[in-house]
């Protein structure tokens, strides 16, 4: 029986299966070859947070809210090390930096990643088919996500999660335009991580992930792992590092939870009737599907073939190409769902394109 674990809000949801979490080390019953993860030797460290008054106050508050051992929480946060290079990685690109979809796409759609995707799909074909049948999410979308995120487990991050989350919780760059909001987000993620590690009796100093604290093949943040990760092979634990069944099921469950519609295309081709085009109106809602097909067309967008009869809402997606003309597609609700994984239309298009390229290679 597949079990879903949630740690999202302690007032309403509790951990019901203590052994179900992202393991710090390889699972005894791994379904994929264990991927070696070592703390990057090039990472520079600042002081620990043991003498950081704000961090220790936060530790006391977390212990009280989550009913955790106060000394354990203080020792865990106190043992976290500040990562001096991480805050600057959170700063947005300088204003005026041109976006370039073709350059962005080239980072993720390449022969190495496509070949790795083909191997992953073939090795996990039955599980991917089962996930598609249960959640309605096509195999190519799941394969695209895992490939874009970590090249199917090859690059899951080399930062200690406790260091990354603590750095962003207590030393988030104040130059960021949304500093207060983002810092609060990372404090919540740190709290979710501590709660999870306490209840599973894992060593909180061992899990590795990205510089933002994302973990495993699908790069789930702690709260996402708590809310959406599933034991898809029914072995009694959730392992997003080595167990590809759990990885596949968890990604599919994430998309279903955010409103993925079975059988709905993610994008349609679009062109423009320049005589009627009101591009500013079409682009105003950004990636949020807002227009019915009639209002979409009335503003100068042209849909051909089956897309002209589409009954759902649409968004005009603009992908800039530096000095060259932008690329445009019409995005559906499912395109918007992909952006809930990473709030970027460029990211979502990379996921779609990688999945399509892998599928095409599978069929050759």
C-alpha span between 168 and 82 (Å, rounded): 9
String of DSSP letters for 296-340? HHHTTEE--GGGGG--S-BEEEEEEETTEEEEEEEE-HHHHHHTT
For the chain, state the CA radius of gyration. 22
Distance separating alpha carbons of residues 285 and 324, to the nearest angstrom:
23
State the pLDDT confidence band at 42, using cuts at 50, 70 and 90: low
Would you call 149 a catalytic residue per the annotation?
yes
User: Given this model, what pLDDT does residue 36 score?
Assistant: 38
The residues pairing with 319 across neighbouring beta strands, listed in sequence order, are 327
Burial zone of 164 (CB within 10 Å; 0-12 exposed, 13-18 middle, 19+ buried): buried
CA distance 182 to 160: 20
- Angle subtended at Cα 256 by Cα 250 and Cα 262, rounded to the nearest 5 degrees: 125
Q: What percent of the chain has pLDDT over 70?
A: 88
Of 13-22, 169-178, 316-325, 342-351, the least confident: 13-22
Weakest-pLDDT range from 4-8, 42-46, 199-203, 346-350? 4-8
Q: Is residue 307 part of a domain?
A: yes
Q: Is residue 30 part of a domain?
A: no
Task: Specify if 283 maps to a domain.
Answer: yes
* Separation of first and last alpha carbons in the chain: 36
Q: What is the pLDDT of residues 117-126, one digit of tens each?
A: 999 999 999 9
Report the alpha-carbon distance of residue 244 to residue 217 in Å, rounded.
8
Nearest to 109 by CA among 318, 364, 356: 356
Instruction: Indicate if the pLDDT at residue 41 is higher than 80.
Output: no
Highest mean pLDDT among 43-47, 150-154, 360-364: 150-154
- How crowded is the C-beta side of 133, counted as CA atoms within 13 Å? 7
Measured CA to CA, the distance from residue 120 to residue 15 in angstroms comes to 31
Question: Is 166 among the domain residues?
Answer: no
Is the pLDDT reported for residue 8 higher than 90? no
At 110 the pLDDT is 96
* CB-CB contact of 202 with 27 (8 Å): no
Across 145-234, the runs of DSSP E, i.e. the strands, are 159-160, 208-209
> At a CB cut-off of 8 Å and minimum separation 6, what does 334 contact?
260, 261, 264, 265, 266
Query: Residue 39 pLDDT more than 70?
Result: no
The number of folded domains in the chain is 1
Mean pLDDT of the residues in the chain = 89
pLDDT score of 308 more than 90: no
Query: Residue 315 belongs to what domain range?
Result: 267-331
Sign for the pseudo-dihedral over CA of 164, 169, 172, 177 = positive
On whether residue 289 sits in a domain, the answer given is yes
The strand pairing partners of 330, in sequence order, are: 268, 316
In the predicted model, is pLDDT for residue 33 greater than 50?
no
Share of the chain above pLDDT 90, in %: 82
Asked if residues 82 and 171 have their Cβ atoms less than 8 Å apart, the reply is yes
- At residue 29, the pLDDT reads 31
Q: pTM of the prediction?
A: 0.86
pLDDT score for 313:
97
Pairing of strands 301-302, 271-272: antiparallel
Structure tokens at 180: 């207060």
**Assigned domain for 277 exists:** yes
CB 113, CB 359: distance < 8 Å: no
CA distance linking residue 294 with residue 148, whole number of Å: 35
pLDDT band at 25 (very low <50, low <70, confident <90, very high): very low
pLDDT at 11: 27
What is the pLDDT, as a whole number, of residue 15? 25
In a domain, 216, yes or no: no
Give CA–CA dist 282/291, Å, rounded. 8
- Residue 51 is given by DSSP the state G
Integer Cα distance of 136 and 131 in angstroms: 7
Q: Is the residue at 176 inside a domain?
A: no
**List 149, 191, 197, 357, catalytic entry:** 149
- pLDDT of the residue at 197: 95
Average pLDDT over residues 11-21: 26
Contact 205, 160 (CB under 8 A): yes
- Taking only the tens place, the pLDDT of each residue in 60-118 is 999 999 999 999 999 999 999 999 999 999 998 877 778 999 999 999 999 999 999 99
pLDDT of 353 > 80? The answer is: yes
State the average pLDDT over residues 124-130. 98
Give the model's pLDDT for residue 305.
84
């Amino acid at each position: 029986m597949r079990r879903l674990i949630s740690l999202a809000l302690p007032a309403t949801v509790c951990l019901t299966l203590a052994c179900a979490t992202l393991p710090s080390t390889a699972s005894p019953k791994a379904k994929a070859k264990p991927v070696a993860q070592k703390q990057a030797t090039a990472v520079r460290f600042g002081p620990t947070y043991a003498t950081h008054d704000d961090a220790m106050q936060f530790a006391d508050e977390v212990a009280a809210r989550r009913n955790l051992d106060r000394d354990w929480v203080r020792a865990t946060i106190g043992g976290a090390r500040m990562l001096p290079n991480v805050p600057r990685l959170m700063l947005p690109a300088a204003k005026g930096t041109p976006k370039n979809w073709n350059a962005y796409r080239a980072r993720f759609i390449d022969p190495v990643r496509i070949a790795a995707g083909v191997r992953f799909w073939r090795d996990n074909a039955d599980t991917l088919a089962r996930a598609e049948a249960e959640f309605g999410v096509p195999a190519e979308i799941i394969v695209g996500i895992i490939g874009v995120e970590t090249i199917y487990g090859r690059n899951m991050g080399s930062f200690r999660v406790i260091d990354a989350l603590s750095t962003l919780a207590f030393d988030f760059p104040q130059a960021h335009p949304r500093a207060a909001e983002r810092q609060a987000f990372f404090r919540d993620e740190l709290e979710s991580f501590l709660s999870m590690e306490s209840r599973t009796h894992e060593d909180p100093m061992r899990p590795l992930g990205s510089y933002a604290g994302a973990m495993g093949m699908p790069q789930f943040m702690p709260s996402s792992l708590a809310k959406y990760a599933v034991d898809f092979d029914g072995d009694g634990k959730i392992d997003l590092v080595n167990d590809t069944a759990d990885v596949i099921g968890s990604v599919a469950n994430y998309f279903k939870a955010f409103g993925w519609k079975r059988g709905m295309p993610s994008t349609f081709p679009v062109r423009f009737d320049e005589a009627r085009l009101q591009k500013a109106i079409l682009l105003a809602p950004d990636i949020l599907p807002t227009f019915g097909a009639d209002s979409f067309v009335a503003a100068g967008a042209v849909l051909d073939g089956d897309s002209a009869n589409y009954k759902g809402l649409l968004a005009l997606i603009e992908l800039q190409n530096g000095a060259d003309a932008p690329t445009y597609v019409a995005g559906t609700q499912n395109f918007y769902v992909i952006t809930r994984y990473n709030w970027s239309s460029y990211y979502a298009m990379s996921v779609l394109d990688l999945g399509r390229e892998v599928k095409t290679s599978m069929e050759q």
